[in-house]
């Protein structure tokens, strides 16, 4: 036996039942050793015995089921966009026609019988054009013995539609008091279920964007150094280990490597989350996708393009996206039992009434059973609650991208937080200074000439203290990774780290040295200042906590959720921040790939929510049971998250938990009310009361009961609007 593992991009799947159906069908084939299909990522992984089945044969089997197999990610994306556009169009048509049907059914704008024929024509378009997907999907579901919502929708709307059609065109088949049409009911069911599918597809479309953006982070072209010292632009994929690559100021680094010449401040925030640029010189490692903010460096390639840290992050993201999320859609679960039960009851009703010799009751009662079991309320229960929840969340600055997380939010055991830009402001600011104010104008005039984040922080601090920064500056020298030197008003000024002052043999006073050491021990950055060879003090720099971070942690603890800090920062800084927040558990100095691993290990003990904002956080956001990101964060992390805090407020973390829990409660209540009507109505529709009291629930009353259950569900969902989070 010769095994081969094959990855395929599958288009045309509209719900998780599609992926389950493909798996079930192919796992029955003797040549397929394993089949795993992800609806979320539209990817399938198959292990086949090449002696029994070829790749081409495997693809043809998938296509026979009605799905497409796309050549690559680009073609898959195009196919998904086409399907999404069609769904949007069909939903718009269905909604427009349903409104027209209601207007015609409720008013007397057009005389009968023309009005009735017009309603029939419009309802037919909704039933067989807009609702055609439910017939197709029902057929596929029944073939795989999977009785889902599609079967209920097709069955219920068909019963209402065909009964109404007979009433319109063959009214003499029914007694006069039974001649009622239910076209509006069938149309509204199809429209609302399409709305649910449309919202689901919106979420899925956005979720697929992040991989594409991440793939464009690293440059495609690199400046390869030739033996004669000249450079040649080459595709990054052509680079080999040991090649020398030139990276100019302002350019992104093409691949992982080691600096062999030059020095530069490198912005690694997109990979490590480090807020300040890191000084890099000879023998230091640099990563693909990071930015050379100043300086010119030559790096020696240490990893091929498909093995870089960035490539590994992409791999982790794909892996997280492809995982089989335990989606438990209540309606579909119950429908698997409900649908066969309703069909059986309808047939049983027909048989029983036939046996007692009453064919009219046999026909009417069996139809009534199907109509009252029409899943209008069942179909509305989840989408209406989600629409209300998303609307409420948007008003509170919370965007719930993935409604599936509603099911697990109540089970959260750990809430894990990134540090920089998440619980802290992610901006360097001056915490304190012991430099005399008489030097502020001089220092500000120099610092405003630099675009370095530290210079900007000092300038902002001085500006807040109303310092004028317009002195004439000359002979400016910028020392990468050390600081700046300039002449102002005839004075030579040095601003930078201790290494720079040591190079100029500046003696630092004991008082200034004590503050310098104290701030370093507190994990704060320090910029020293000297004028004409004399130390004049320093500026202490820090990344401040957000105003509501501490309150948010307190609320989480009250909910019984353990907060955890997970950061790439050093141990001193991490514990200092955790102490201020009241967090006991801290993971520090963790690289991006290790963050992902920490989340995985925590998941073995319980459900995990991860809150982060950087590109480096994206794999952890996807891996966590609930991924939360901030609107101020990187686009990729926003695409990867299940929830986006649009207002960037940390209190919205606990608000989103409260909102999700409330939404889940509403959905359960909706399902209860949807089924209680069926539980009571179906036996009455079958005629159980007729032998005792002569009571028979006609199709008209079955339709009213069905509509009333829908109203109950809608009103119950609207309560979310008034929920205090």
Residues with catalytic roles: 418
Q: How far is CA 369 from CA 364, 456, 546, in A?
A: 9, 73, 59
Q: DSSP of 218-231, one letter per residue?
A: S-SEEEEEPTTS-E
Strands 297-301 and 264-267: unpaired
Q: What is the CA radius of gyration of the chain?
A: 33
Residue from 244, 271, 274, 249 nearest 259 by CA: 244
Paired residues of 264 in beta bridges: 280
Structure tokens at 152: 């209920």
Query: Does residue 241 sit in helix, strand or coil?
Result: coil
**Rounded Cα–Cα distance for residues 505 and 522 (Å):** 26
Are the beta carbons of 19 and 42 closer than 8 angstroms?
no
**Rounded Cα–Cα distance for residues 149 and 319 (Å):** 29
**Half-sphere exposure of 263 toward its Cβ, with a 13 Å CA cutoff?**
10
What does the CA dihedral 90, 91, 96, 102 come to, rounded to 10 degrees? 120
Are the beta carbons of 16 and 38 closer than 8 angstroms?
no
**Rounded Cα–Cα distance for residues 389 and 383 (Å):** 10
Distance of CA 301 to the CA centre of its chain: 34
Matching residue, tokens 């979320």: 40
Q: Which helix (H) or strand (E) is 489 found in, with range? A: none
Torsion angles phi and psi, residue 391, rounded to 5: -65, -45
- Give the E-state strand segments of 525-561 in sequence order: 525-531, 534-545
Region for 13 from its dihedrals, namely left if φ exceeds 0, alpha if ψ lies in -120 to 50, beta otherwise: beta
Q: How many CB atoms lie within 10 A of CB 250?
A: 9
What is the maximal distance between C-alpha atoms in the chain? 115
Torsion angles phi and psi, residue 346, rounded to 5: -65, -45
Region for 666 from its dihedrals, namely left if φ exceeds 0, alpha if ψ lies in -120 to 50, beta otherwise: alpha
Query: Does residue 543 sit in helix, strand or coil?
Result: strand
Cα(first)–Cα(last) distance of the chain, in Å?
A: 59
Distance of CA 478 to the CA centre of its chain: 43
Matching residue, tokens 């490692």: 285
**Rounded Cα–Cα distance for residues 306 and 318 (Å):** 14
Q: Which helix (H) or strand (E) is 428 found in, with range? A: strand 424-433
Residues 251-271 as b/e (b if ≥16 CB within 10 A, e otherwise) read bbbbbbbebeebbbbbbbbbb
Query: Does residue 438 sit in helix, strand or coil?
Result: helix
**What does the DSSP 8-state code read for residue 128?**
I
**Rounded Cα–Cα distance for residues 98 and 107 (Å):** 14
Are the beta carbons of 353 and 169 closer than 8 angstroms?
no
How would you class 224 by CB atoms within 10 Å of its CB: exposed for 0-12, middle for 13-18, buried for 19 or more?
A: buried
């Amino acid at each position: 036996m010769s095994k081969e593992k094959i990855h395929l991009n599958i288009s045309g799947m509209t719900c998780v039942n599609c992926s389950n159906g493909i798996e079930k069908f192919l796992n029955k084939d003797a040549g397929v050793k394993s089949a795993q299909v992800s609806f979320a990522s539209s990817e399938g992984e198959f292990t086949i015995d090449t002696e029994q089945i070829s790749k081409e044969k495997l693809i043809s089997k998938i296509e026979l089921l009605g799905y497409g197999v796309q050549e690559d990610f680009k073609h898959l994306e195009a196919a998904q966009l086409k399907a999404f556009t069609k769904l949007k169009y069909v939903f718009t048509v269905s909604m427009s026609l349903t409104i027209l049907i209601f207007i015609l059914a409720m008013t007397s704008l057009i005389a009968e019988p023309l009005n009735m024929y017009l309603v029939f024509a419009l309802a037919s378009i909704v039933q067989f054009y807009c609702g055609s997907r439910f017939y197709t999907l029902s057929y596929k579901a029944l073939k795989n013995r999977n009785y889902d919502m599609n079967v209920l929708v097709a069955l219920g709307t068909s019963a209402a539609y065909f009964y109404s059609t007979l009433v319109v065109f063959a009214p003499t088949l029914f007694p006069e008091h039974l001649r009622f049409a239910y076209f509006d009911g069938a149309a509204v069911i199809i429209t609302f279920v399409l709305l649910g599918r449309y919202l689901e597809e919106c979420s899925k479309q956005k979720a697929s964007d992040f991989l594409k953006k991440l793939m464009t982070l690293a440059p495609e072209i690199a400046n390869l150094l030739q033996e004669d010292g000249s450079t040649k632009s080459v595709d990054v994929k052509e680079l080999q280990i040991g090649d020398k690559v030139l990276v100019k100021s302002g350019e992104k680094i093409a691949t992982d490597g080691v600096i062999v010449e030059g020095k530069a401040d490198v912005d690694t925030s997109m990979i490590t989350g480090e807020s300040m640029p890191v000084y890099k010189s000879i023998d230091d490692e640099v990563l693909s996708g990071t930015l050379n903010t100043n300086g010119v460096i030559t790096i020696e390639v240490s990893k091929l393009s498909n093995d870089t840290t960035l490539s590994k992050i992409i791999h982790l993201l794909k892996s997280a996206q492809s995982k089989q999320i335990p989606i438990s859609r209540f309606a579909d679960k119950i429908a698997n039992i409900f649908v066969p039960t309703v069909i059986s009851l309808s047939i049983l009703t027909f048989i029983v009434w036939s046996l007692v010799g009453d064919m009219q009751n046999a026909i009417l009662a069996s139809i009534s059973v199907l109509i009252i079991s029409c899943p209008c309320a069942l179909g509305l229960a989840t989408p209406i609650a989600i629409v209300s929840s998303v609307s409420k969340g948007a008003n509170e600055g919370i965007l719930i991208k993935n409604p599936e997380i509603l099911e697990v939010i109540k089970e959260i055991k750990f809430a894990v937080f990134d540090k920089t830009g998440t619980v802290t402001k992610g901006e360097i600011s001056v915490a304190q200074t012991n430099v005399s104010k008489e030097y502020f104008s001089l220092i500000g005039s120099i610092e405003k000439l630099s675009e370095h984040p530290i210079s900007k922080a000092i300038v902002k601090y001085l500006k807040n203290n109303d310092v004028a920064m317009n002195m004439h500056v000359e002979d400016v020298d910028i020392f990468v990774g050390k600081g700046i030197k300039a002449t102002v008003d005839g004075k030579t000024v040095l601003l930078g780290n201790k290494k720079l002052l040591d190079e100029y043999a500046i003696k630092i006073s004991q008082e200034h040295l004590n503050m310098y050491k104290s701030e370093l021990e507190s994990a704060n950055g320090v910029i020293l200042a000297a004028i004409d060879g004399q130390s004049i003090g320093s500026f202490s720099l820090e990344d401040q906590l957000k105003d509501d971070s501490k309150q948010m942690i307190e609320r989480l603890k009250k909910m019984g959720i353990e907060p955890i800090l997970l950061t790439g920062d050093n141990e001193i800084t991490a514990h200092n921040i955790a102490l201020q927040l009241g967090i006991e558990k801290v993971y520090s100095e963790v690289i991006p790939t290790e963050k992902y691993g920490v989340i995985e290990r925590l998941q073995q003990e319980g459900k995990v929510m991860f809150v982060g904002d950087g590109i480096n956080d994206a794999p952890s956001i996807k891996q966590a049971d609930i991924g939360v990101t901030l609107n101020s964060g990187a686009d990729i992390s926003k695409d990867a998250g299940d929830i986006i805090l649009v207002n960037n407020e940390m209190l919205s973390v606990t608000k989103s938990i409260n909102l999700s829990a409330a939404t889940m409660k509403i959905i359960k209540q909706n399902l209860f009310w949807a089924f209680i009507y069926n539980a009571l109505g179906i036996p009455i529709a079958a005629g159980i009361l007729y032998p005792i009291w002569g009571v028979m629930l006609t199709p008209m009353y079955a339709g009213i009961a069905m509509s009333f259950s829908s109203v109950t569900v809608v009103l119950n969902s609207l309560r979310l609007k008034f929920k205090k989070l």
